[in-house]
C-alpha cells in the first residue's frame, strides 16, 4: 500500500465522521461509497437492491427518511445514487473475476451513533474540524473507520485483481447500532453463495496493532418496541372510564425485571425507555416501552423473549389496553471457524504494524454481524470476526470517542493478505 | 308474653352461646332448634331439605364437616335430626293455617364467628359460665340472640295461632358471617311465595329499646377465594424451572389494589389473606388469596368484581400458573318497602320496652339477608329489615362482645305484633 | 351598556383567542389588558408588581419565557409593559374612589390551554379567522371570554364611577390551567384587604343565560412533578452498576395507585405522564412523573398527598435514586358566602338575557380561584363564584371548543349590578 | 474394621432414621450420641457446652423446644444428657492423647428434614420398619448416615488410640438444614485450635464407592425471616385506617425479584413463603416472608443481601409498617486445601470399597460446613470436604429418599486412614 492510499484512508474516515448519519439514514455515506466503488470499476448494488424491506428492523417512518435524504443531498450526496437506493441505505460492491474460485465476502458497517459530539479543543475531530455537522449523530463507535477500511481495501483489490480468482463481495452495511441492519441483507440472500466471510471491529480497548482472531461470548439479543394503547379519561371526574396505559406499562416493567434467572447462564432484560401519557390530569391513553432481552446463547435469549412477550401480552389484557410488539433488532451468538482463525493468525504476522496476536478473548457484547456469520456457516461456508486493536480516546459511544488512525492501514493490509490467500490464483 | 318465656329466651340464647358453631357447622344449634319447633307443632325442614347444595358458598370440605357433626353429637345434638340434615345446617319451620291469607317469612341467622372468647371474669358469659366451649367459635355478633328470638316467636305464634291466617315461615339461616348462607335458601325457592318478609339485627351501637325501621346503604359485596397453582423448583439451582405462584399472587395483589375508583360512588377491594409457598429455598408452587370486592350498588360491585377477575386471570397467564376462583359469599344492596317501614313504626309504638323509634339510618355494611329481601321483592312481595338497639359490651366480632338481653323480649313482641297485623283474621 | 361596548367585548375576546398564550406566557395578553386599563384611567400593576415569585408554581425555565416574550413583542405587545412585567404575567387594575366604602375584588383568568385548535371551516374561530396563531396554545376553556368580560366591566365602571365608593380591584390572573397562578397573587397580599370577592366561569354545559349562584364540591388538588435521578449503566455488561430510575418510577406508580380509598369521601391520584430513560440498552438514569392528588376536602387531599410523598421518597431510597418533588399547582375546596349568593340571585333577575337562576349545583372539578376565595374569607371578607351558562360547541379543553358570545354582555351587566350594589354611594 | 462394627453402623443409622429430629430438636439423637461416646471414653460436650446461644440462627421458640424435649425423653433420651444440653442440641467428643501432635476435627451433621416419609412397601425404611416415627421429620438427606459414620469412627479411633498423637475432635452438628447450626459452634471457638478439618457428604448422585476430593462452587447464602407489622382495619368501612402489611409484602416481593443480575456471576433471590393477613375483610395487620439470597461468592451474596434489605426496609417505611429481619441461616463459599485434597486421593486408594477417585467437581449448592472450613483456614489450618458416592433411591429431600448403606463403612475407613496419617506417632 502506498503512502497516498494511507492519506486517502484518513480522508475517507474524516469525511464520514464529519457527515455522520445514524442507522437507516446513511444516504450521503452510501452515495459517497457507491461513487468510489463504481469509479474503481466494481459492480454496485444500493439500497433496495441489497436490502430486503420486509426484513428491515428499527427503521424510522418515511417522512423522517425523506428529511434525511434532503439533508444528504444538501451535504453532497449524488441524487443519481439516492434515486437507486429507493429509500434504503447500504452498498454492496462485487468484484467477479470470472475465474473459478471461492466467493469471499467482507462486511463493513457504516452507521453513526445517536450521540452529540463534544465541542472541545482537546477533542481532535473538533480541533481538526471534522467533528459531526449533524446534530444527534456522531461516529462514536468507529464505523467511519470501518467504511474507510472497506474503501481502502477496494482500491487495493482492484490494483491487484489479476492475481485473484472467484468473487469478492464488499458489504457496506447500514444500521449496525441497535443490531438492526444485517438481517435485511441476509434475507436478501447476499450471503448464500459465500465460501469465506471476513469481518471485524476496531478499538474495543485493545492496544494498537494487536490482533485477536477468535472473540467468543457474543450475546444473543432481541430488541423490541412495545406500544400500549388504552383510553384517556378525566382523572378526577371519571377515573373508571380510562384504560390506563401508563399503569399497565409500569406493571409490565416490574414483572419484566422479575423474570427468573436461568440456571444455564447469564440472561438480561432492560426496559431502557418508557414514555407514557398526555397530561397530568388525564388517565394515560398510551405508553411506549423500548426494551431488549439477552442471553448467553439462543436458548437463553429465547427464554427471556418468550417470558417477556407473555408478560407484555397478559398485562395488556389485564388493563384492557391493546398492544403492539415490534422487533427492532436482533443478534445471535457465533463461533469463528478454526480454519479462518488459524489463517488470520498466520497472515497477521506478515502485516506491518501488527505488534501482538492473540487467539481468543471473551467478547460479552452483541453484534448483528453474527446473523451473517451464522448464515454463511449454515450454507457450508466459513466465517471469522477479527478484533483490530487501536487506542481510543474514550469508551465507544462516548461523546469524546476518537481512535488512532494507524489501524486503518493495518486492517486493509490484513484483509488484503487474507483475500490474496483465499482467492489466489493457484 | 309471660315471664317464663323471657327466662326461656335467655336460656336459649345462652345455650347457643355456650355451644357456638361457625357457619355451615351449626349442627347442634340446628338440632336444638328443630327439636323445639317440632315439639311446638311446626312442620320442620332441615339441612338439605331447605338448602340448595349447588348454591352453597364458603362451606368447608366434607372431612371437616364430619368432625363438626361428631362434636355436635357429643354436645347433645339429636342424631335423628343430624341424619335428616345430610351434611347441611339450617332449619325452616312452617305454620300453615290452611286459611286464606298472606305468606309471611322471618329470617334469623344462627352462626357464630371465627373468634376466641375472652376468659375473664369481667366478661359476663365467662363469669356466668356460658362462654363458648368450642375453640375458635364465639357468638360475637348476636346471632345467638337472633336464634333465641326466633324460638321465642315460635312459642308465641303457636299460642295465638287461632287468630292467624295464611302461612308463616320461620327461617333459621346458617352461615351469615361471610355472607355465605342466604343464597342457598333463596335458590331452594323458599322465598318465592312470600308476601311479607321480616328480618333484623340486634345491637349495632344503638341504645337499648331504640328501633330503626329503614336502614339504607347496604354495600354489595362478593367474597372470593383464589388459588394459584404453579410449579416448584430449587430456587438456587433451577430458578427458571419453577412457575412462581407466590410472585404471581404478589403481582396480582398490587394490581388489584390499583383498580381505579369509580365516579359513581365508593368501591372497595381487599385481599385479606395471602398464603403462599412451601419452603424458603423452593420456588413457590401454590398461593391462596382470600379477597372481597364491594360497591355502593350492584353496578359498582360488579365493576370491581369484573376488574378483579381480569387481573387474577391474566396474572395467572402471565406466570403460567393455573387458577381457581371460588365465590365464597355474596350480598347485595336493598331498600326496605315503605309499607312495611310504616307498619314497623306504627307497631313498635305498642311494644313495651321500645323507648325510641327512628325511620332511617345509614347502614354502611353488608348482610346476605339482602338476597332474600331482593328475591321477595322481585316476586312481588314486600320486605323490611329492622335494627333493634341494645347495649353491647364491645364491638361486634370482638372477643369481649356481649349484649343486654332485654332486647330479646322486645324483638319477639315486635315481630309478633307485625305478624298479628299482617296475618290477622279479618 | 351600549351596542358599541358589545362589539368591543367580542373584539377583545377574539383578539385574545387569536393570540392565545398558555400559563405564565401571557405577555401579549397582559400587555393588551394593561394598555386598555391604563388608558381608561386605572392604576395598573403588572407581572412582578402583583406576583410573588417565591409562590409561583409550574412556571417554565427563563430561557423558554424569553422566547415567549419575543413572540409576544412580535405579535404586538408593547415593550414598555413587558419591561414592567419583569418576566411574570398578569395584571391588576385598581379603581380607588377615595370615598369610604368596601374593597371589592373580581378575578378574571386569562391563560389558554395546551391544545392545538382544529383547522376546519365548521369551527367558527377558524372560519372567521380568529383561530389561534400560536402552535400548541388555544383558548379552549373560555378564559379569552373571561378576560374580555374583565375589560368590558372596566369600561362600565369608569363610565359610572361617580356613583361608587370604596375600592375596586380587577385581577387578571395568569396560569389558572394547572391551578398554578392564583397562589402567587394571594401570597403577594392583594386579597388581604378585600371585603367582597366576585368571580365565575362561563360555559360548563349550562344553558345560555342561566345563572347558578352557589356551585359546591370543589375538589382540593395538588399537582406535582417528581424527578428521579439514578445512574446509567450498560444493561448487558454491567446491570448491577446502574441505579434504575425507570424501574423505581414504575414501582412507585403501582404503589401510588394502590393508596387505599378514604372512608370520608372520594379521593384521586393520577400519574398522567411518565418519561424515563435514554436508550434501550442503558439502565435508565432518570425519570419524570407528572402527577396529581385530589380529595373532596383539604383533609382528604392532604391524606393522598402525604401517602404519595411517602411512596415517592421511600421508593427512591429503595432504588438508590435521588428525588425532587416540585409542587406545580394547588387548589382548595370552598363554600360561597350565603350573603353574596342571595345578592347574586337578586341582582341576576334584573340582568337582560338571564333566562334562569339556580341556587346550587355540584361542581366536582378544581379551580385555583378557591385559594383567593379562602384568603378573602380567612381575612373576614365574603366570596362568591358564579356559573354563567352559555352554549359551547364542544367540551372544555377540546380542540373544537367555542362559545356563544352573548354571555359576555350578560356577565358584564351582572358584575356591574353587583358592584353598584356593594360599592354604591348611600 | 470388624464385621460387628458394620452391623453397629447400620443399627445406629436406622435408629437415628426411625427417631428423626429436625434442626435444633435433635435431643434424642444427641443423647444417644453422647451415651455412646461417653461410654467409649471420650470427653463429651453437649448443647450449651458447645453452642454459643447468641450465634444461633433459625431456632424455634422455647415452648416448642420444650415439646421436643418431652418427645425425646418419651423416645428414650437419657434425662441426664438432656439436662446438660440446657435446651440446645449437638455433641462434641474430644480425644486428647496428651502427646504432642496436631489437632484434627471432623464434622458430622445430625438433623433430619421437614418432610413426611412415604409409607409404601417399596420404600425400604418403611418395609424394614425403621421409617420415621416423628411426623414432619424424616432423614431425607443422609445425616442419619453421617451421624452413624461419626460414631463408627469413634469406635475405631479408641481401639487404635495408642498409635495417635495430638487431639481429635468429633463434632456432631445440629441444624445443618437451613444452614443454621455451624455458626454457633464456630462462634463457641471450637475450631480455633484446629490444624486439620475433615468433613464430607454421602450420596449426591455419585456412584457408590466413588470419592471426590475437591468439590468447588459452594454458593454463599443468607436466609432471612422478615416480619411486617401494620395495623388492621375494616376493609369496607375504614380502609384508610389500616397499614396494610400484606400489600407491603407483595410490593416488596416484586421489587426483590427485580434486583438486577450481577455482571460477575450468578446471583439468586427467593421468597419461598409468604403468609399474611387475618381475615378476608380486614386490612392485613401482619405478614411473614421467608427468603434467601445467594451468590457465587461472598461479594455477590452480599450484593443481593444489601439490595434485599434496602427494599425490605424502605417498603416498610412506604407502608408505615414496622419490620423485623431475622437472619435464619448462613453459608459461605470455600476452597479445599490442596494438601488435604492430595492426601484424600492418596489415602482413598487404600480403602476397600472405593471404586473410583476424582479430584474436582462443581458443587453448586450451599453447606454451612463452609463456615467451619473458613474459620479453620482463617486461623491457619487446612480443610477438606469429601463427596462420598453412594446410590440413592430418590433425590435428597424427597419423601422416597434412602441410600446404599455400604458407604458407611467406606467412609469410616477413609476418615480413619486420614487421621492415622495426620495424627500418627512418628
D281 to chain B: which residues are within 8 Å by CB? 270, 272, 292
- pLDDT tens across the length of chain B (426 residues): 467 889 999 999 999 999 999 999 999 999 999 999 999 999 999 999 999 999 999 999 999 999 999 999 999 999 999 999 999 999 999 999 999 999 999 999 999 999 899 999 999 999 999 999 999 999 999 999 999 999 999 999 999 999 999 999 999 999 999 999 999 999 999 999 999 999 999 998 899 999 999 999 888 999 999 999 999 988 988 899 999 999 999 999 999 999 999 999 999 999 999 999 988 999 999 999 999 999 999 999 999 999 999 999 999 999 999 999 999 999 999 999 999 999 999 999 999 999 999 999 988 788 999 999 999 999 999 999 999 999 999 888 889 999 999 999 999 999 999 999 999 876
Distance CA C200, CA D39 (A): 100
Which among D247, D303, D314 has the least Cβ separation from residue C318?
D314
pLDDT of C2:
64
Please state whether the predicted TM-score (pTM) of the whole model is above 0.95.
no
- Residue C233, sorted as left (phi over 0), alpha (psi -120 to 50) or beta, turns out to be beta
Using CA atoms, how far apart are residues B40 and B157, in angstroms rounded to an integer?
10
Whether D280 sits inside 8 A of B273 (CB atoms) is yes
Q: Is D177 annotated as a binding residue?
A: yes
Grid cell locating B99: 286459611
**Which residues from chain C sit within 8 angstroms of residue A116, using beta carbons?**
none
Intra-chain end-to-end CA distance of chain C, in Å: 23
What is the phi/psi pair of residue C214, to 5°? -145, 75
Domains C3-218+332-422 and C220-331 in one fold: no
Give the integer Cα–Cα distance in Å for D377 and D339: 12
The answer to whether C197 and C384 have CB atoms below 8 angstroms apart is yes
Q: Which of C268, C275, C287 shows the shortest C-beta gap to A239? A: C268
Euclidean distance between CA atoms C98 and B24, whole angstroms: 84
- Domain parsing of chain B, residue ranges: 3-218+333-422, 220-331
Contact B276 D274 (CB under 8 A): yes
Mind giving me the DSSP string for A142-179?
SHHHHHHHHHHHHHHHHHTGGGB-SEEEEEEES-TTTT
Nearest CA in chain B to C252: B254
CB C209 within 8 A of CB C389: yes
Task: Tell whether C123 is in a known binding site.
Answer: no
Cell of B56: 352453597
Strand A210-216 to A267-276 pairing: unpaired
How many Å lie between the alpha carbon of B268 and the closest alpha carbon of chain C? 8
Which are the contacts of D161, defined by CB distance < 8 A and separation ≥ 6? D95, D97
Contact assignment for A255 to D255 by CB distance below 8 Å: no
Q: Is D280 on the interface with B (CB under 8 A)?
A: yes
Cell numbers found for residue A183: 438481517
| Closest chain A residue by Cα to residue C289 | A280
The pLDDT tens digits of the residues spanning D303-355 come to 999 999 999 999 999 999 999 999 999 999 999 999 999 999 999 999 999 99
CATH superfamily of B3-218+333-422: Zn peptidases (3.40.630.10)
For residue D63, give every residue at least 6 positions away whose Cβ sits within 8 Å of its Cβ, in sequence order, or none. Answer: none
> Mean pLDDT of residues grouped by 10 in chain A (426 residues)?
83 98 98 98 97 96 96 97 97 97 98 93 96 95 97 96 96 96 97 98 92 92 97 89 97 98 94 95 95 95 98 98 96 95 96 95 89 97 97 90 96 97 85
Measured between CA atoms, the residue of chain C closest to residue B253 is C258
CA A133 to chain centre: 21
Contact flag A273-C268 (C-beta cutoff 8 Å): no
**A4 burial level (CB within 10 Å; 0-12, 13-18, 19+):** exposed
Instruction: Work out the burial of residue C26: count CB atoms within 10 Å of its CB; fewer than 13 is exposed, 13-18 middle, 19 or more buried.
Output: buried
Q: Which residues of B touch A261 (CB under 8 A)?
A: 239-240
State how far the Cα of A107 lies from the Cα of B329, in Å rounded to an integer: 68
Measure the CA–CA gap between C213 and A67, rounded to whole angstroms: 56
CATH number of B220-331: 3.30.70.360
Do B262 and B303 form a contact (C-beta atoms < 8 A)? yes
Q: All 3 cell numbers of residue D323? A: 419490620
Chain D, nearest residue to A270 by Cα: D260
Cross-chain CB nearest to B292 (options D235, D275, D366): D235
Is D272 close to B280, i.e. CB distance below 8 A?
yes
C35-41 CB contacts, 8 Å cutoff, 24+ apart: C35/C78, C35/C81, C36/C12, C36/C151, C36/C154, C37/C91, C37/C93, C37/C151, C37/C154, C37/C170, C40/C154, C40/C155, C40/C158, C41/C158
Pairwise CB contact (< 8 Å): B178 & D275: no
User: Count H helices, E strands: chain D?
Assistant: 12, 12
| D residues 260-279 closer than 8 Å to A (CB) | 260-261, 266-268
| CB-based contact, D254 to chain C, within 8 Å | yes
Which residues of chain B are within 8 Å of residue A238 when distances are taken between CB atoms?
A: 263
Residue A116 forms contact with D (CB below 8 Å): no
Cα(D55)–Cα(D328) distance, rounded to whole angstroms?
A: 10
State how far residue A214 is from chain D, nearest Cα, in angstroms.
22
**Widest distance between CA atoms in chain C:** 84
Alpha helices in B128-278 (DSSP H): 143-159, 182-187, 245-257
B282 closest CA partner among C296, D273, C291: D273
Q: Which of D196, D169, D153, D170 is nearest to D412 (CA)?
A: D153
- D136, D141, D230, D270, best to mutate vs chain B, most B CBs in 10 Å: D270
Give kind and range of the element (H or E) at residue A362: strand A356-362
ipTM above 0.95, yes or no: no
Of A244, A258, A283, the CB nearest to B247: A258
Of residues C249 and C399, the one with the higher pLDDT is: C249
pLDDT value, residue C51:
98
Whether residue B329 contacts residue B222, with contact meaning beta carbons closer than 8 Å, is answered with yes
- How many alpha carbons lie under 13 Å from residue A308 in its C-beta half-sphere? 30
Distance CA A252, CA A234 (A): 23
Whether the pLDDT of residue C425 is over 90: the answer is: no
Q: In this structure, how many other beta carbons lie within 10 angstroms of the beta carbon of residue D323?
A: 23
Which CATH number, 3.40.50.300, 1.10.357.10, 3.40.630.10, 3.90.180.10, labels domain A3-215+333-422? 3.40.630.10
| CA pair distance B298, A42, nearest whole angstrom | 77
Question: Who among B114, B235, B250 is closest to D250 (CB)?
Answer: B250
Chain B positions touching D247 (Cβ under 8 A) are 253-254, 257, 271
pLDDT in tens, A204-255: 889 999 999 999 988 899 999 999 999 998 898 889 999 999 999 999 999 9
Contact D303 C242 (CB under 8 A): no
Sign of CA dihedral C355, C357, C363, C366: positive
Looking at the complex, does the CB of residue B254 fall below 8 Å from at least one CB of chain D? yes
Chains in contact with D via at least 3 Cβ–Cβ pairs below 8 Å = A, B, C
Check if the beta carbon of residue C370 is closer than 8 Å to that of residue C378.
no
Top-level class of domain A220-330: alpha beta
Q: Which of A254, A267, A268 sits opposite D254 (nearest CB)?
A: A254
How crowded is the C-beta side of B272, counted as CA atoms within 13 Å? 20
Q: Is the pLDDT of residue C1 over 60?
A: no
> Which residues on chain C are in Cβ contact (under 8 Å) with A364?
236-237
- In the structure grid, which three cell numbers stand for residue B182, read together? 342466604
Give the H or E element holding residue D9: helix D3-18
Q: Which residues of D99-126 are buried (b: 16+ CB within 10 A; e: fewer)?
A: eebbbbbbbbbbbbbebebbeeeebbbb
DSSP string over B263-279 = TTB-EEEEEEEEEE-S-
Contact yes or no for A261 and D267 at CB 8 A? yes
- Tell me the average pLDDT of chain C: 95
- The CATH number assigned to the domain with range C3-218+332-422 reads 3.40.630.10
Are C121 and C128 within 8 A, CB to CB?
Answer: no
Q: Do B244 and A238 touch (CB under 8 A)?
A: no
CA distance A387 to A391: 13
In whole angstroms, give the CA distance from residue A279 to residue D415.
Answer: 74
pLDDT recorded at residue C5: 86
Amino acid at each position: 500500500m502506498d503512502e497516498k492510499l494511507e492519506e486517502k484512508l484518513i480522508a475517507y474516515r474524516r469525511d464520514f465522521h464529519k457527515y455522520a448519519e445514524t442507522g437507516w439514514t446513511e444516504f450521503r455515506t452510501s452515495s459517497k461509497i457507491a461513487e468510489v466503488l463504481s469509479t474503481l470499476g466494481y459492480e454496485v448494488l444500493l439500497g433496495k437492491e441489497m436490502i430486503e424491506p420486509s426484513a428491515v428492523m428499527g427503521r424510522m417512518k418515511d417522512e423522517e427518511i425523506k428529511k434525511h435524504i434532503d439533508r444528504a443531498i444538501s451535504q453532497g450526496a449524488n441524487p443519481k445514487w439516492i434515486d437507486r437506493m429507493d429509500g434504503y441505505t447500504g452498498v454492496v460492491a462485487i468484484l467477479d473475476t470470472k475465474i473459478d474460485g471461492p466467493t469471499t465476502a467482507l462486511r463493513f458497517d457504516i452507521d453513526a451513533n445517536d450521540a452529540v459530539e463534544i465541542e472541545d479543543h482537546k477533542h481532535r475531530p473538533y480541533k481538526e474540524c471534522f467533528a459531526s455537522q449533524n446534530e444527534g449523530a456522531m461516529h462514536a463507535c468507529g464505523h467511519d473507520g470501518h467504511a474507510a477500511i472497506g474503501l481502502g481495501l477496494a482500491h487495493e483489490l482492484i490494483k491487484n485483481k489479476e492475481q485473484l480468482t472467484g468473487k469478492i463481495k464488499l458489504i457496506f452495511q447500514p444500521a449496525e447500532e441497535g443490531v438492526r441492519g444485517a438481517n435485511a441483507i441476509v434475507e436478501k440472500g447476499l450471503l448464500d453463495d459465500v465460501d469465506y466471510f471476513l469481518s471485524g471491529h476496531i478499538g474495543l480497548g485493545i492496544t494498537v496493532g494487536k490482533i485477536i482472531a477468535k472473540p467468543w461470548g457474543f450475546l444473543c439479543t432481541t430488541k423490541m418496541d412495545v406500544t400500549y394503547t388504552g383510553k384517556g379519561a378525566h382523572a378526577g371526574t371519571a377515573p373508571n372510564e380510562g384504560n390506563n396505559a401508563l399503569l399497565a406499562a409500569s406493571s409490565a416493567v416490574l414483572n419484566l425485571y422479575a423474570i427468573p434467572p436461568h440456571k444455564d447462564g447469564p440472561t438480561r432484560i432492560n426496559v431502557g425507555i418508557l414514555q407514557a401519557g398526555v397530561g397530568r390530569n388525564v388517565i394515560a391513553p398510551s405508553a411506549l416501552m423500548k426494551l431488549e432481552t439477552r442471553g448467553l446463547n439462543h436458548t437463553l435469549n429465547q427464554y427471556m423473549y418468550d417470558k417477556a412477550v407473555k408478560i407484555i401480552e397478559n398485562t395488556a389484557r389485564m388493563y384492557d389496553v391493546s398492544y403492539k410488539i415490534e422487533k427492532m433488532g436482533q443478534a445471535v451468538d457465533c463461533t469463528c471457524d478454526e480454519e479462518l482463525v488459524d489463517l488470520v493468525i498466520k497472515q497477521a504476522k506478515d502485516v506491518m504494524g501488527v505488534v501482538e496476536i492473540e487467539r481468543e478473548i471473551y467478547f460479552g457484547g452483541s453484534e448483528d454481524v453474527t446473523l451473517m456469520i451464522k448464515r454463511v456457516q449454515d450454507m457450508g461456508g466459513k466465517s471469522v470476526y477479527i478484533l483490530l486493536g487501536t487506542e481510543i480516546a474514550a469508551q465507544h459511544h462516548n461523546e469524546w470517542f476518537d481512535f488512532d488512525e494507524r489501524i486503518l492501514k493495518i486492517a486493509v493490509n490484513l484483509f488484503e493478505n487474507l483475500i490474496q490467500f483465499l482467492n489466489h490464483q493457484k
